């Protein structure tokens, strides 16, 4: 998500900001702007540069906007679910977009349908919209505040009205959301990497259970609930976020290097070269190489015009994407014992193909090292890990997976090693990461 308040070319700023967030979703994109009380929207399926051009951006007038790239974890990937969603009514229009997933979306939807609400999409954003509309409060901020209290899950929301931009983070801080300052306005975004391209400077992160309200009087913050300790999704550090982003004050590239170093301490191996799976595993592979003393080499080449396979909406598309996505460099891996460092094994699609590529290119041995613990539990918070049946580690032990995927050896970083390497801790000394997909401990259930 990317939102802006106070820039004459808000749509263009959103367009640039979304380019820095394209890795977070490739199924669709949308921008909504406001000018003179009128909301203008353009959205569509595909990558950002497929959805927008200069003519479209020039037609989206206004000095405030919100925007989104779609990664479907709930509902489906149809065009009607591309965000932001716009809701028009006599009392005023609003646009809503979000990252994450609500655990109680179906319960809230059923309850409001019984009361007469009609839903047009499968998006969690529409659930929030109907809650806001049904609120009896007179002030819009109070309507939003009351509605947010009804939500359970991992979420970051943005709400745009004719006069305000509101951003909110769930009470557990599961999904990232940061505020930046432009000369004449403010920017709110899922990742800090988007600040640089638009010339904004980081101001603060949105706290768990907090709302940020930006209007003509400036920026102010207020809690909608008493937020607890931060539980930032560990997969943001491991895989999802861009290396040049900072999460809770920690640079993602630096965190991934530390993961690689910790992995080398926990799972050393005798080998000739270390190879990282591009792009999200390169930082961890560099860390593994530095700690182990084994040279890092570019043994895999990525076709940068193929999207991220983990966030493709179907297994068939994932498998096809892996075939097109990577090639082995024979001159690097031939007659070598290779340590391949990857960030995770979810379904096994990518790593199985990589092992085949390396062996076909002449690798003598392929040792796999994973910079996350085994993914054994589903995620209800916005990562596409919906069923335990699709998680290899939930159904097979490590030795079974090693044999199934044709590895010479396999090792994951430990949960304790993950916590130590990333280094996110709350003031009370508790871990600042959600590790539910690794240990089954869900922060919203405690």
Q: Is the pLDDT of residue 310 over 70?
A: no
Confidence of residue 429 (pLDDT cuts 50, 70, 90): confident
Q: CA–CA separation, 163 vs 332, rounded Å?
A: 58
Euclidean distance between CA atoms 58 and 10, whole angstroms: 10
In the predicted model, is pLDDT for residue 314 greater than 80? no
> Which residue from 236, 199, 198, 249 is spatially nearest to 18, judged by alpha carbons?
198
Q: Output the known binding site for [4Fe-4S] cluster.
A: 233, 379, 434, 437
Q: Read off the pTM.
A: 0.92
- Say which residues have a Cβ less than 8 Å from residue 93's Cβ, sequence separation at least 6: 39, 86, 87, 161, 162
Percent of the chain with pLDDT over 70: 94
SS3 for 360? helix
- Bridge partners, residue 220, by sequence: 213
* Residues 6+ away with beta carbon under 8 Å from 362: 330, 333, 334, 335, 336
pLDDT tens digits for range 47-71: 999 999 999 999 999 999 999 999 8
pLDDT at 346: 92
51 in the same domain as 80: yes
Q: How many CB atoms lie within 10 A of CB 148?
A: 24
> What digits encode the pLDDT tens for the residues 80-115?
889 999 998 777 899 999 999 999 999 999 999 999
Q: Note whether 410 and 402 are within 8 A (CB).
A: yes
Q: Work out the pLDDT band at 76, boundaries 50, 70, 90.
A: low
- Among 174, 198, 228, give the residue marking a domain's end: 228
Q: Of 4-8, 20-24, 287-291, 384-388, where does mean pLDDT reach its minimum?
A: 384-388
As a whole-number percent, the residues of the chain with pLDDT over 90 amount to: 84
Edge-to-edge strands, sheet with 365-370: 273-276, 337-342, 365-370, 409-412
pLDDT at 313 over 80: no
Say how far apart CA 2 and CA 191 lie, in whole Å. Answer: 9
Is residue 374 a contact partner of residue 438, using CB atoms and an 8 Å limit? yes
Q: Which positions make up the binding site for Mg(2+)? A: 280, 342-343
Is 446 inside any structural domain? no
Q: Domain end: 202, 228, 254, which one?
A: 228
The pLDDT score that the predictor gives to residue 418 is: 97
- Cα 69 from chain centroid (whole Å): 10
pLDDT bucket at 430, cuts 50 / 70 / 90: confident
Domain that holds residue 27: 2-228
Our count of domains for the chain comes to 2
Residue written as tokens 């557990």? 172
Same domain, 137 and 204: yes
Give 210's contacts (C-beta < 8 A, 6+ positions apart): 168, 169, 221, 222, 223, 224, 227
Task: Supply the pLDDT for residue 385.
Answer: 86
Pick the last residue of a domain from 192, 208, 228.
Answer: 228
Residue pair 287/258 in contact by the 8 Å Cβ criterion: yes
pLDDT at 315: 59
Residues constituting the chain: 446
Residues 249 and 207 in one domain: no
Write down the pLDDT at residue 320.
59
Per-residue pLDDT tens over the stretch 216-248: 999 999 999 987 788 999 999 999 999 999 999
Selection from 365, 369, 374 nearest residue 398 by Cα: 374
Shared-domain flag, residues 216 and 242:
no
Using the CB atoms, write b or e for 208-238: b if 16+ within 10 Å: bbbbbbbbeeebeeeebeebebbbbbbbbbb
Please state the rounded mean pLDDT for residues 196-206: 97
Angstrom CA distances, 429 to 86, 230, 359, 444, stand at 42, 11, 45, 19
330 shares its domain with 210: no
User: What pLDDT, on the 0 to 100 scale, is given for residue 431?
Assistant: 86
pLDDT at residue 319, rounded to an integer: 55
**Mean pLDDT rounded to a whole number for the chain:** 93
Question: Domain check: are 23 and 46 in the same one?
Answer: yes
CATH number, position 363: 3.40.50.2020
**Of 228-237, 251-260, 384-393, which one has max mean pLDDT?**
251-260
Would you list which residues are annotated within the binding site?
A: 233, 280, 342-343, 379, 434, 437
Task: Pull the structure tokens for residue 327.
Answer: 């090639």
**Does an H or E element contain 316, and which?**
helix 315-325
Placement of tokens 């792009």 in the chain: 279
267 lies in the same domain as 210 = no
The whole-number average pLDDT for the span 321-334 is 86
The stretch 331-340 carries a mean pLDDT of 99
Nearest to 143 by CA among 96, 183, 185, 178: 96
How far apart are alpha carbons 319 and 53 in whole angstroms? 31
Let me know whether 175 and 303 are in one domain: no
């Amino acid at each position: 998500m990317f939102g802006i308040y106070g820039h004459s070319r808000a749509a263009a700023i959103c367009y640039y900001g979304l380019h820095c967030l394209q890795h977070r979703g490739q199924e669709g994109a949308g921008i909504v702007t406001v000018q003179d009380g009128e909301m203008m929207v353009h959205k569509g399926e595909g990558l950002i540069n497929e959805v927008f051009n200069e003519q479209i951006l020039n037609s989206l007038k206004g000095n405030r906007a919100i925007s989104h790239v779609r990664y479907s974890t709930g509902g489906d990937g149809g065009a009607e679910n591309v965000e932001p969603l716009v809701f028009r009514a006599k009392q005023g229009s609003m646009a809503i977009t979000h990252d994450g997933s609500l655990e109680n979306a179906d319960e809230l939807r059923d309850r409001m349908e019984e009361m007469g609400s009609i839903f047009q999409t499968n998006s969690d954003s529409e659930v929030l919209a109907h809650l806001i509309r049904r609120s009896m409060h007179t002030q819009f901020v109070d309507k939003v505040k009351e509605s947010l209290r009804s939500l359970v899950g991992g979420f970051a929301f943005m709400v745009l009205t004719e006069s305000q931009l509101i951003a909110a983070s769930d009470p557990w801080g599961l999904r990232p959301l940061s505020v930046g300052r432009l000369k004449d306005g403010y920017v709110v975004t899922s990742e800090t990497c988007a600040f640089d391209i638009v010339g904004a400077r980081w101001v603060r992160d949105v706290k768990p259970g907090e709302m940020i309200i930006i209007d003509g009087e400036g920026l102010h913050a207020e809690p909608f609930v008493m937020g607890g300790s931060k539980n930032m999704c560990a997969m943001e550090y491991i895989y999802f976020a861009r290396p040049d982003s900072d999460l809770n004050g920690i640079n993602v590239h630096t965190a991934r290097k530390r993961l690689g170093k910790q992995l080398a301490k926990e799972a050393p191996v005798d080998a000739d070269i270390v190879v990282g799976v591009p792009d999200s595993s390169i930082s961890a592979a560099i860390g593994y190489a530095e700690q182990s003393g084994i040279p890092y080499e570019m043994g895999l080449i990525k076709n940068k015009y193929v999207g991220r396979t983990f966030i493709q909406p179907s297994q068939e598309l994932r498998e096809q994407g892996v075939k097109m996505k990577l090639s082995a460099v024979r001159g690097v891996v031939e007659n070598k014992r290779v340590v391949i460092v990857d960030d995770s094994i979810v379904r096994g699609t990518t790593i199985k193909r990589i092992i085949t590529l390396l062996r076909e290119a002449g690798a003598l041995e392929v040792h796999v090292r994973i910079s996350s613990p085994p993914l054994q539990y589903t995620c209800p918070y916005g990562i596409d890990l919906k069923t335990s049946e699709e998680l290899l580690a939930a159904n097979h032990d490590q030795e079974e997976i090693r044999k199934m995927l044709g590895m010479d050896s396999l090792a994951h970083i430990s949960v304790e090693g993950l916590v130590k390497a990333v280094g996110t801790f709350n003031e009370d000394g508790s871990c600042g990461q959600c590790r539910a997909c690794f240990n089954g401990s869900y922060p919203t259930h405690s």
